[in-house]
Amino acid sequence: MSSSGRSAGPCLPEGDTIWRTAAALRQRIGGKVVSDARPHALARLRGRRLESVEPTGKHLVMQFEGGLALHSHMRMTGSWHLYRTGERWRQPERRATAVLTFDEVVAVCFAAPVMELVVDAGRPVAHLGPDILVDPFELDEVIRRARHSEAPTLGELLLEQRVCAGIGNIYKCEALWALRLDAWMPSANLDDERLRHLYLAARDLMRRNLLTPIARQRHAVHGRSGRPCPRCGTPIRIRAQGQQARLTYFCPRCQGEHLSAHPDRPQQGGREIFSNGRRSGSRRR
Ligand SMILES: [Zn+2]
Task: Single out the catalytic residue among 20, 55, 58, 224.
Answer: 58
pLDDT of 8 over the 50 cut: no
Distance 204 CA to ligand 1 centre (A): 20
Task: Single out the catalytic residue among 145, 172, 239, 246.
Answer: 246
58 part of the active site: yes
Q: Are residues 203 and 117 located together in one domain of the fold?
A: no
Q: Are residues 11 and 118 located together in one domain of the fold?
A: yes
**Most confidently predicted of 166-170, 211-215, 250-254:** 250-254
The 10 Å CB-count burial string (b at 16+, else e) for 217-233 is eebbbbebbeeebeeee
Backbone φ and ψ of 147, nearest 5°: -70, -20
Q: Are residues 24 and 108 located together in one domain of the fold?
A: yes
What's the domain range around 235?
139-261
**Alpha-carbon span 138 to 131, nearest angstrom:** 8
Backbone φ and ψ of 82, nearest 5°: -120, 130
How many other CB atoms are found less than 10 A from the CB of residue 171? 27
**Alpha-carbon span 281 to 276, nearest angstrom:** 15
The residue count for the chain: 285
Average pLDDT over the chain reads 85
**C-alpha to C-alpha distances, 112 to 55, 66, 195, nearest whole angstrom:** 15, 24, 32
Q: Domain for residue 267, yes or no? A: no
User: 3-state DSSP call for residue 198?
Assistant: helix
Give the number of domains in the chain: 2
pLDDT tens sequence across 40-52: 999 999 999 999 9
pTM reported for the whole predicted model:
0.71
**Alpha-carbon span 69 to 58, nearest angstrom:** 16
pLDDT of 226 over the 70 cut: yes
Distance 151 CA to ligand 1 centre (A): 25
pLDDT of 37 over the 70 cut: yes
Q: Domain for residue 21, yes or no? A: yes
List the CATH number of the domain containing 111.
3.20.190.10
